[in-house]
Amino acid sequence: AQSVAQPEDQVNVAEGNPLTVKCTYSVSGNPYLFWYVQYPNRGLQFLLKYITGDNLVKGSYGFEAEFNKSQTSFHLKKPSALVSDSALYFCAVRGGYSSASKIIFGSGTRLSIRP
């Protein structure tokens, strides 16, 4: 069975510092990995995805994520945090050998950026 884990409920970072939001996964077959962001009273917004190719994926709002197959991780990163990055972040994975396999979301990590 496929699963995704976000080990940190909350991450606190000072504005201007680099940030990392952790994600690990377990799937059969090749993983398709995603990050979504949810601002208060808004729907989830797609940030970036890894399907194949370069392990470092760049997405919206200056975010990037690094796929690490040996560590089964897909951590979200940003070199310099902004207060406006404060939101709830979800990692998601689709694995398996069938295009019918479902996307599974993690439980979310609340990112708080202090001025």
Partner 1 sequence: GAGVSQSPRYKVAKRGQDVALRCDPISGHVSLFWYQQALGQGPEFLTYFQNEAQLDKSGLPSDRFFAERPEGSVSTLKIQRTQQEDSAVYLCASSSRVGQSTGELFFGEGSRLTVL
Give the residues lining the site for partner 1 (CB under 8 A): 32, 34, 36, 41-46, 49, 51, 90, 92, 94, 99-108
Q: Smallest distance, Å, CB 90 to partner 1?
A: 5
Identity of the residue, 82 or 104, whose beta carbon is nearer to partner 1 in the bound complex: 104
Q: Which long-range contacts (CB under 8 A, 24 or more apart) does 65-72 make?
A: 65/33, 65/35, 67/33, 71/24, 72/24, 72/25, 72/26, 72/31
Rounded to the nearest 10 degrees, how much is the dihedral formed by the CA atoms of 11, 40, 23, 16? -40
Q: Smallest distance, Å, CB 35 to partner 1?
A: 10
Identity of the residue, 22 or 49, whose beta carbon is nearer to partner 1 in the bound complex: 49
Identity of the residue, 67 or 90, whose beta carbon is nearer to partner 1 in the bound complex: 90
Q: Smallest distance, Å, CB 102 to partner 1?
A: 5
Please name which of 53, 44, 47 lies closest in space to residue 65, comparing C-alpha atoms.
Answer: 47
